[in-house]
């Protein structure tokens, strides 16, 4: 077994892992380990946008209340307050690093999505927000000479000595490495692949949870599985996400008889929290004895739809669905555990020295499009990374 040493070991290369690498780089050598190429993570597939209270009509306090309401009383208010108060700073930071969010004239363009009472969701290239944020963070990481990349490598276990994490055992090209580090960050993403239908990439296999559990970390809120309400359901089609922004811009959910049904389940109809929408879709499928429901954007201007959802439009066309003229058939999508290791500062990345861990800003459900900003905030650093 070969032994390598670094100051900071980061396992995972999504927005959480990359942002942690940027933050830790001034303090020592950083090694980023990932199972695939650096860009392959759930971040790349995020479409809709990132929520932040920066528009003229919005206020941080309103965003705070919306988040607590969506969390159904199960959020930690301290975590939510940090999320909404510091979010704007992180967006401006991404813009400074080169992020190209969509604009209406000279102003940032905000849209409305589920559980938000104001237009506060920023998006990039229409429906490729995650890909744009990832591009910016990868470019930033690549520019830092003290950050090394370790792609196509599988983390097997953490190195534990007297209850303290000292690094990880990593398998690469058939060889086992013992990587020793002053601090180890688990930013391994979720477990979408345990579900029969998921839009998560192949690398989301829950192994980060197993690694943490074997090391003695406390697993918390495992019952809170994040379900995205809509994924493309068509012959030979991939598990392709249909963004919640499609409903935010005016798309309607209809059953197989063409009847809109969301008002029967929640007063906010298509803009209800995602857990409500997911249950409503399943209930309607059971009631009508069908395999799917339909998402209808045909009342929207075709030019607007093509500009706002270019990636979705092109993908659906490959399966003979023109979303400007046809209704597409979505089925709800099991995404996988979103919050699983109790953490010092309610984050998706776990700084492992002695790893203190708790439930944070999500609660039972969430306001849509908070995840990218949450990852940037919580991966700024913690007490175990000093």
DSSP state letters, 275-311: HHHHHHHHHHHHHHT-S--EEE-TTS-HHHHHHHSHH
Question: How do beta strands 50-51 and 103-104 pair?
Answer: unpaired
Residues 146 and 117 occupy one common structural domain: yes
**The pLDDT of residue 331:** 62
Number of structural domains the chain divides into: 2
Q: What is the CATH number for 316?
A: 3.90.700.10
The CB density around residue 116, as the number of other CB atoms within 10 Å, is 25
- The β-bridge partners of 232 are 330
Structural contact between residues 17 and 379, judged by C-beta atoms closer than 8 angstroms:
yes
- Whether the predicted pLDDT of 353 surpasses 70: no
Q: What is the CATH number for 365?
A: 3.50.50.60
Residues 16 and 105 occupy one common structural domain: yes
Residues 164 and 236 occupy one common structural domain: no
pLDDT by residue (tens digit) across 245-298?
Answer: 899 899 999 999 999 999 999 999 999 988 899 899 999 999 999 988 999 999
**The pLDDT of residue 153:** 93
The residue-averaged pLDDT of 68-89 equals: 88
**The pLDDT of residue 30:** 97
**Between 251 and 350, where is the model more confident?**
251
The owner of tokens 């739809």 is: 305
Residues 140 and 67 occupy one common structural domain: yes
Residues 218 and 276 occupy one common structural domain: no
pLDDT, averaged across the chain: 83
pTM: 0.78
The secondary structure of residue 328, as a DSSP letter, is: B
Q: What is the DSSP string of 101-115?
A: --EETTEEPEE--TT
Residues 281 and 175 occupy one common structural domain: no
The answer to which of 19-23, 281-285, 343-347, 360-364 has the lowest mean pLDDT is 343-347
Question: How do beta strands 294-296 and 252-254 pair?
Answer: antiparallel
Alpha helices in 148-273 (DSSP H): 207-214, 245-248
SS3 content of the chain, % helix, strand, coil (to 5): 30, 25, 45
Marked catalytic residue, from 274, 308, 359, 374:
274
- Whether the predicted pLDDT of 100 surpasses 60: yes
**The pLDDT of residue 366:** 52
Residues 8 and 129 occupy one common structural domain: yes
Domain extent, residue 314, equals 225-334
Q: In angstroms, how far apart are the furthest CA atoms of the chain?
A: 63
Residues 76 and 167 occupy one common structural domain: yes
**Alpha carbon distance 211, 171 (integer Å):** 14
Residues 136 and 285 occupy one common structural domain: no
The residue-averaged pLDDT of 337-364 equals: 40
Catalytic (active site) residue 148:
no
Residues 326 and 350 occupy one common structural domain: no
For residue 65, what pLDDT band results from cuts at 50, 70 and 90?
very high
Residues 330 and 356 occupy one common structural domain: no
- Whether the predicted pLDDT of 363 surpasses 70: no
- The β-bridge partners of 167 are 159, 180
**The pLDDT of residue 322:** 94
Residues 69 and 161 occupy one common structural domain: yes
pLDDT by residue (tens digit) across 147-182?
Answer: 999 999 999 999 999 989 999 999 999 999 999 999
Compute φ and ψ for 55, nearest 5 degrees: -80, 165
């Amino acid at each position: 077994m070969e032994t390598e040493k670094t100051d900071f070991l980061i396992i995972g290369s999504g927005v959480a892992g990359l942002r942690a690498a940027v933050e830790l780089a001034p303090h020592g050598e950083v090694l980023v380990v990932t199972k695939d190429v650096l860009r392959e993570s759930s971040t790349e597939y995020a479409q809709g946008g990132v929520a932040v209270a920066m528009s003229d009509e919005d206020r941080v306090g309103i965003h705070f209340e919306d988040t607590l309401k969506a969390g159904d009383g199960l959020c930690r208010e301290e975590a939510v307050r940090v999320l909404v108060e510091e979010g704007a700073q992180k967006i401006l930071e991404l813009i400074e690093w080169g992020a190209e969010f969509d604009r209406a004239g000279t102003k940032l363009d905000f849209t409305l999505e589920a559980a938000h009472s104001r237009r506060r969701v920023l998006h990039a290239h229409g429906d490729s927000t995650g890909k744009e944020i990832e591009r910016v963070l990868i470019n930033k990481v690549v520019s830092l000479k003290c950050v090394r990349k370790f792609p196509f490598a599988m983390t097997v276990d953490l190195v534990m000595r007297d209850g303290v994490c000292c690094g990880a055992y990593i398998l690469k090209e058939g060889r086992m490495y013992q990587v020793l580090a002053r601090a180890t960050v688990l930013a391994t993403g979720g477990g979408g692949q345990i579900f029969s239908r998921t839009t998560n990439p192949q690398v989301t296999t829950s192994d980060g949870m197993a690694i943490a559990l074997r090391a003695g970390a406390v697993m918390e809120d495992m019952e809170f599985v994040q379900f995205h309400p809509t994924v493309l359901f068509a012959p030979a089609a991939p598990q392709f996400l249909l963004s919640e922004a499609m409903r935010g811009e005016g798309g309607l959910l209809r059953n197989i008889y063409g009847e809109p049904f969301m008002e029967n389940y929640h007063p906010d109809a298509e803009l209800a929290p995602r857990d409500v929408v997911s249950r409503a879709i399943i209930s309607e499928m059971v009631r009508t004895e069908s395999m799917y429901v339909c998402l209808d954007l045909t009342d929207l201007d075709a030019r607007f739809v093509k500009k706002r959802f270019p990636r979705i439009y092109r993908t659906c066309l490959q399966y003979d669905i023109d979303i400007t003229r046809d209704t597409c058939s979505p089925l709800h999508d099991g995404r996988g555990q979103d919050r699983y290791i109790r953490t010092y500062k309610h984050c998706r990345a776990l700084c492992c020295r002695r790893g203190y861990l708790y439930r944070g800003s999500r609660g039972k459900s969430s306001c849509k499009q908070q995840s990218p900003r949450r990852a940037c905030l919580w991966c700024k650093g913690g007490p175990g990374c000093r």
